[in-house]
Amino acid sequence: MTSGIDTEVQHTLETLVEFVNALADADTADDDVDVDTRALLEQHGFGRAAAAPEAAIRRTTARVRDLTPRVMSLPDSNVSAATDWINAELTELRVAPALSAHDGSELHIHWTPPSATFDDQVLADVLMSLAQELCDHGTERFGRCAATDCEHLFYDATRNGSRRFCSDPRCASRTHTADHRKRRKRRAAS
């Protein structure tokens, strides 16, 4: 576990960041790109994703898409503004925390009752993780990729808060290569 960050919160926020980046990319793509919400959530351990009805998957996509501008603005937001919109979103959900250990998983918190729709479960997990992050670290662990031409969001779970790039390894590689070439060119000119 990274010092000072709950692993469940970290996992949920990293999933959220990947989800909103994919939705933002799909919304700005020239062709008709669609996000495979079910596969993304299954890949990140949202157990009910496999069996969730297609309508619930569509609602999840739409609801996270609605949150995307707010989530993408976190690097520039203050805690007060982020708190206001998260609280407003939470008032729309029926949150009923309960401890659960199922399907071989460790004991964890379910924020919604067992009767909750899949999209309510996902939104509750995301919003409660954001709420916990605001309490623990404010908005400082959210950043935008430092690579030229990349606006992706990242969640920085490093011990010292030193992350600069999104999860696409090409961003860091392109930037480091360009920096190396600039240094070589300066040395050659000296």
- What mean pLDDT, rounded, does the chain reach? 88
Assigned domain for 150 exists: yes
Helix axes 79-90, 118-137, angle to 10 degrees: 150
Query: Does any domain span residue 2?
Result: no
Mean pLDDT, residues 127-155: 94
Residue 112, in any domain of the structure? yes
Q: Tens digits of per-residue pLDDT, 14-73?
A: 999 999 999 999 988 666 668 999 999 999 988 889 999 999 999 999 999 999 999 999
Query: Three-state SS for 146?
Result: coil
Ramachandran angles phi, psi of 128, nearest 5°: -70, -35
pLDDT of 114: 84
Residue 155, H or E segment: strand 153-155
Helices (H), 36-168: 37-43, 54-72, 79-90, 118-137
Domain assignment of residue 1, yes or no: no
Q: Is 50 helix (H, G, I), strand (E, B) or coil?
A: coil
Q: Is the pLDDT score of 103 beyond 80? A: no
Q: How many domains does the chain have?
A: 1
Residue 54 within any structural domain of the chain: yes
Say if 136 falls within a structural domain.
yes
Q: Which residue range forms the structural domain that includes residue 150?
A: 7-189
Tens digit of each residue's pLDDT (9 = 90 or more) over 164-173: 888 888 887 6
Flag the least confident range among 76-80, 96-100, 143-147, 175-179.
Answer: 175-179
CATH number for position 164: 1.10.3300.10
